[in-house]
């Protein structure tokens, strides 16, 4: 069974950023400046375009979501294959669909 936990970050629309220049704060081995705080906030926002997921489009827009129902046997087979590949079921299924689409394009 896939037991990986997703990190989830939530930020308000306009986070308040206080000046950190009154004392030196080290974050991941580097001094934390106002500009670095703004960059960290931007990175977290970019990582959460859709809560719990990232944009897969090259332009950074929201990715479409596909929901489907599967019988237990097929889902368990997907879950097992994903675990063997050390990826989520979603990522594994996406890779299988991308492979199928590429083969189809090549056949045309």
pLDDT tens per residue across span 25-59: 787 888 888 888 888 888 777 665 554 456 778 77
pLDDT digits (tens, 9 = 90+) for 3-25: 666 677 777 777 776 665 567 77
Contact 82, 89 (CB under 8 A): yes
Rounded average pLDDT over 52-75: 82
Where does residue 92 rank: exposed (0-12), middle (13-18), buried (19+ CB within 10 A)? buried
pLDDT at 72: 96
Query: Given a cut of 60, is residue 107 above it in pLDDT?
Result: yes
Of the candidates 90, 69, 66, the residue with the CA atom closest to the CA atom of residue 78: 90
What's the pLDDT at 54? Answer: 66
């Amino acid at each position: 069974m896939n037991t990986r936990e997703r990190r989830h970050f939530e930020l308000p629309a306009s986070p308040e950023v206080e000046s950190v220049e009154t004392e030196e704060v080290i974050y991941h081995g580097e001094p934390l400046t106002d500009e670095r705080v703004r960059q960290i906030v931007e990175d977290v926002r970019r990582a959460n375009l859709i809560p719990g997921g990232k944009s897969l489009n090259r332009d950074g827009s929201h990715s479409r979501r596909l929901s489907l129902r599967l019988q237990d046997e097929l889902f368990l087979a997907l879950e097992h294959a994903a675990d063997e590949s050390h990826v989520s079921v979603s990522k594994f299924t996406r890779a299988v669909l991308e492979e199928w689409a590429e083969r189809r394009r090549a056949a045309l």
